[in-house]
Structure formats: structure tokens, C-alpha cells
Amino acid sequence: MNAYDFKVKARDGSEVALADYKGKVLLVVNTATGCGFTPQYKELQELYDEFSAQGFEILDFPCNQFGNQAPGNDEEIHTFCTGRYGITFPQFAKVDVNGENAIPLYKWLTENTKFDGFGKSPMSLILSGVVKRTDKDYKNNGKVKWNFTKFLIDRNGEIVGRFEPTNMKKLKDAIEACL
């Protein structure tokens, strides 16, 4: 099984086969419009601008599971993201990334990756405390911990990396290596 085996819902409710992205490097991201990490949309758009011509795609999945920080419907979220951050990469329907209602793509991503920590920044310490309140065993499972967790998929549809929201520095290098 790889990323190309999954189908997801577009903002308009239509089904999109990830096989349509075969041969591209994919960055799958769960996002939120009211999060402290929301400004990462700017950095994501910069990565998209720099690498999309080389076969790089960002697949944006709004998610309201973490602090209810993605309110609104799909169109309201899209309008916010395009208006405030000028995003041009694909944005899909709002999803659950954890739990029994998680979409199959995210079940596969979380079952096949490991949480490696948030790093050592002050924001990492804050986030660890917040996550620990809802998931006492958070260090030992693959669940998505917060908004803006990123999964890097290579051109063969295989997972090559997981990047927590506090870890944008290593992401660009990993994308370049896949391209």
C-alpha cells in the first residue's frame, strides 16, 4: 500500500484519487486557520512556489480536532487561506486525522510513522504540555499531535518523513532530497 491507493474529498465534495499525483513529491498537512502555527501557510506557499515546477505538491487538509482551531466550512476556510496567505496549493475538505472518524489516508500515515518529538524550542515545551493533557501516552504513538503536522511522500508514494509543527527547518532539506 502507498499514498496512491487513497481517495480523498475535494472542497466541493467530489472524490480525488491520490493516484492523480503519481510521480510527484507530496507534502500532506493537517491545517487550521486559528492556530499559533497558522502563519506557516506563508512558509508552505513559499515552498510550493519554489518547488512546484519540479513536481512538488502540498495537499492541505483542514482539521478541527486540535483546540477547535479550524472553525467554519470548507469554503470559509479556503477564502481565509487564499485571502490572508495567498495559497495556491490544493486544499481539500475538512477531515479528522485521528480517531475512528479519521480518513483512511491519515490512518495509514499515522500507523506507518513514529512521533520523534517536538524539538527543544520554547514553543515545543508549550506544545508538549498541551498535548500531554489529552494524550498521556503521546510520546509512544503515531497519532497526529497538533495542527500543521506534515508527512512527506516520495515520487513512489512512500512515506519518507514526518515533521511536527515545530520542525520547519529540516523540511526544506528533505523536500529537496526527494526532488
pLDDT on residue 142? 92
pLDDT on residue 169? 79
In CATH, the architecture of 3-178 is 3-Layer(aba) Sandwich (3.40)
- Nearest in space to 109 (alpha carbons), one of 35, 14, 15, 27: 27
Cα-based angle 3, 18, 43 (whole degrees, multiple of 5): 85
pLDDT on residue 23? 97
Query: Does 81 qualify as catalytic in the annotation?
Result: no
Half-sphere exposure of 123 (CA within 13 A, CB side): 9
Cα-based angle 31, 95, 71 (whole degrees, multiple of 5): 60
pLDDT on residue 107? 98
What is the enclosing helix (H) or strand (E) of 25? strand 25-31
pLDDT on residue 50? 97
pLDDT on residue 99? 95
Three-state DSSP class for 32?
Answer: coil
Which residue of the set 35, 63, 81, 178 is catalytic? 35
Query: Which residues of the chain, if any, have pLDDT below 70?
Result: none
Q: Is the pTM of this model over 0.75?
A: yes
pLDDT on residue 94? 97
Three-state DSSP class for 155?
Answer: coil
pLDDT on residue 148? 96
pLDDT on residue 175? 97
Q: What residues does each domain of the chain span?
A: 3-178
Rounded-to-integer distance, Cα 144 and Cα 149, Å: 7
Summarised one tens digit per residue, pLDDT across range 142-173 is 999 999 999 999 999 999 999 999 877 789 99
Three-state DSSP class for 67?
Answer: coil
